[in-house]
Structure 1
Amino acid sequence: MAKIVGISGSITQPSRTKNLVEVIVNKASQKLHAHAEVIDIAQIATVLGSTVSYNQFPDALAAEYKKLDEADLIVIASPVYKASYTGLLKHFFDLLDPKRLAGKVAILAATGGSDQHALVLDYQLRTLASFFGVYTVPTAIYAKDTEFVNYELTSDAIKQRIDVAVDQAVFLLQQENLQALVA
């Protein structure tokens, strides 16, 4: 059975970004009949922020990294602050061995106040995923604050993009499974 892990890089609660991650993860879970979990950076912010060792993680952080190790599909999402993804999300990835995520598939997503911030997906999150050897789906998902009501995604256009991204992820996962059979 496939496993899906979403990472919400938001440092606040409630969070539009976390809701977006949950919507994507739930859609992918339905499509793949897979187990899904969400890593909420806001929930582990204190322990994450105080961790500086690459070799010794506190139990709470080690449990989150174990989820990533077991994931087939990852959803990486962040709110856009000062034209970038959050510092704690960066720190979360900074602590990972660069080879740890190689070969996994990811859907990238972000939330922000205006369309100008959408470039963070291709110029920062896609670059981050590439550094780790992660295959990213071509369709990224950017949702503006106005596409949420009470922190819940309401935009049909964004939901359609999610459908496209999930279909692309399923395709990439199938290709990866075929290559494993041939090898």
Structure 2
Amino acid sequence: MTGRPAMTGRRVRIKVPGAFPYPIGRRSMSLQGSSFSGPLPRIVGFSANLQRPSKTRALVEAVAEATGARLRADIRLFDVVDAGTGLGAAWSRDQLSLPARRILEAIENADALIVGTPVYKGAYTGLFKHLFDFVDPAALAGKPVVLSATGGGARHALVVEHSLRPLFGFFSAQTVPTSVYGSDADFSDGVLVDEGVRGRVSDAAAQLAALLGARAKPSASFEAAPATAFAAPNR
């Protein structure tokens, strides 16, 4: 399929656990083993779109792949649907399903986050906020985060700065300067094709990789969760 940004360097190594056997992106890549050698920075990507595949997921993947092309990392991707249908009915963390708790643990134990949400009625989704309401604030303090969102048109672009950035400011997270917003017109058949948005993806990924590269040591504990995961070698 044409229109997808070319990945530089060596191929990405993908590990797809059996619980969610879907590929990264919309093109297949050769499997090169599932074991990772040595400690790697852990990056969690989270899409709050209620559908899969989705433009939000594609945007999160684009940032993840661009980051992986710059930095060897263990990258795990989740969609809000992975948390199960009971997420919205949970009033406390102990009422969450096991899949939802595993997503929270992955977010809290990651070294960095790539988050994306569709814009509904001028804001991030309710389930996105509901999930992060259960996150331990101390777990995100100082953690690098890339912010992204998708919407029907350009009028929703400021949601990233007016809603997402203040939310992660509350957590004292270190949001990268460049945020990424994609509208319907920026995608073709679910693939990000707009050069301007792809440029922002590249900038955000470079900023995230620089922050992670400056850190001496990844998190000591990172519990594997049932989500798509891939490790990207150095360029």
TM normalised by structure 2 equals 0.71
- Letter in structure 1 aligned against 2:153: S
Find 2:153's aligned residue among 111, 114, 127.
Answer: 114
2:40 maps to 1:40? no
Residue matched to 1:139: 178
- Letter in structure 2 aligned against 1:57: L
Deviation digits for residues 107-144 of structure 1, max 9, x if unmatched?
00011111111111111100111111110011100111
Does the aligned pair in 1 maintain the 2:82–2:100 contact within 8 Å? no
Which structure carries more helix by proportion?
1
Cα offset, 1:155, TM superposition: 1.6
Does the aligned pair in 2 maintain the 1:8–1:76 contact within 8 Å? yes
Cα offset, 1:175, TM superposition: 4.1
For 1:7, what is the secondary structure of its paired residue?
strand
Does the aligned pair in 2 maintain the 1:108–1:121 contact within 8 Å? yes
Residue matched to 1:127: 166
The CA distance in 1 between the partners of 2:180 and 2:201, in whole Å, is 7
In structure 2, stretches of 5+ residues that fail to align are 1-39, 218-235
Higher RCO (C-alpha under 8 Å, 6+ residues apart): 2
Residue matched to 1:181: none
Residue matched to 2:55: 16
**Which entry has the higher C-alpha Rg, 1 or 2?**
2
Deviation digits for residues 67-115 of structure 1, max 9, x if unmatched?
1122112011111110000000010111122212112100000111111
Residue matched to 1:151: 190
In structure 1, stretches of 5+ residues that fail to align are 179-183
The CA distance in 1 between the partners of 2:112 and 2:128, in whole Å, is 18
Aligned residues: 178
For 1:100, what is the secondary structure of its paired residue?
helix
Residues 45-54 or 89-98, more deviating? 45-54
Cα offset, 1:160, TM superposition: 1.3
Does the aligned pair in 2 maintain the 1:72–1:104 contact within 8 Å? yes
Percent identity between the two aligned chains: 37
Residue matched to 2:207: 168
